[in-house]
Amino acid sequence: MTQKQKLVIFSGAGMCAESGISTFRDTGGLWEKFKVEDVATPQAWTADPEKVQHFYNQRRKQILDASPNSAHLQTAEFEKYYETTVITQNVDDLHERAGSSQVLHLHGNIRQAKSSGPNQERKLYPIEGWELSLTDTCDEGFPLRPNVVWFGEEVPMLETAAKIISKTDIFIVIGTSLNVYPAAGLIHAAKNDSKKIIIDPHANELNAPAGFEVLKMGAGEGLKYWRKKMENLF
């Protein structure tokens, strides 16, 4: 039995664009409608937890109403041919719902909650529906907050993600503007002799390092194109 090649998909909000979920920094994106400092920082939570809770409840509702798109499904399909790991900046569960079994969430998972008290990382609480209210509390009685990484907070899975990318044979970066560090720095974590591809309609405007094949396309189309090219190689 030959060893399967390792493949990593590193995805951002653009992965979900074709599911009808707005990205952050495209025209009409989330950060045009909301200020980061009002809804996505620990200070925002302290100042107005209701507003923060409402912001994430709206996003959770949109995610529950959305379905995985062709790019999510093609990503899940890679597991048949490659030892596949998805490393995503996205907080939705569309990769999992498409069938991907190895998904690492760098910025957390909006369908889980954690305590807003001192021992936040101790326990995760699944959120059944779309709404989390301030009356929902952890075992110690603190209000539950979304299990997402806010600006200024640590990215606990960063080290693990870098190690996985450093060992991969194929590294496909999809739908991220590479604006937010430290996650964006992972673009440099792949080894020189790995196959590196970046798929994004604005790929030519991104600061992708040398050695990346640049596919200026949407996620679904880009993966289809690349898979077809790979199939012709065998």
Phi, psi (deg, nearest 5) at residue 82: -135, 155
Residue type, 192: N
Number of residues assigned to the chain? 234
Query: Residue 63: which H helix or E strand, with range?
Result: helix 49-65
Answer yes or no: are the C-beta atoms of 14 and 69 closer than 8 Å: no
Q: What is the total count of residues that contact ligand APR (CB under 6 A)?
A: 23
Annotated catalytic residue within 95, 107, 188, 202? 107
Binding mask 168-207 for ligand APR (x = CB under 6 A): ------xxxx-xx-------------------xxx-----
Single residue of 26, 77, 153, 169 touching ligand APR by CB under 6 A? 26
Q: Which residue is nearest to ligand APR (CB)?
A: 14
Sign of the CA dihedral running 121, 159, 17, 19: negative
Nearer to ligand APR among residue 57 and residue 176 (C-beta): 176
Nearer to ligand APR among residue 155 and residue 167 (C-beta): 155
Whether 202 is a known active-site residue: answer no
Place of tokens 């090649």: 5
* Shortest distance in whole angstroms from residue 85 CB to ligand APR: 18
SS3 12: coil
Single residue of 13, 63, 98, 127 touching ligand APR by CB under 6 A? 13
* Residue 192 burial (10 A CB sphere; 0-12, 13-18, 19+): exposed
- Rule CB under 6 A: say whether 92 interacts with ligand APR: no
Copy the structure tokens of residue 204. Answer: 């030519």
Query: Active-site residues: which are they?
Result: 107
Q: In the complex, which residues of this chain contact ligand APR (CB under 6 A)? A: 12-14, 17-18, 23-26, 29, 89, 107, 174-177, 179-180, 200-202, 218-219
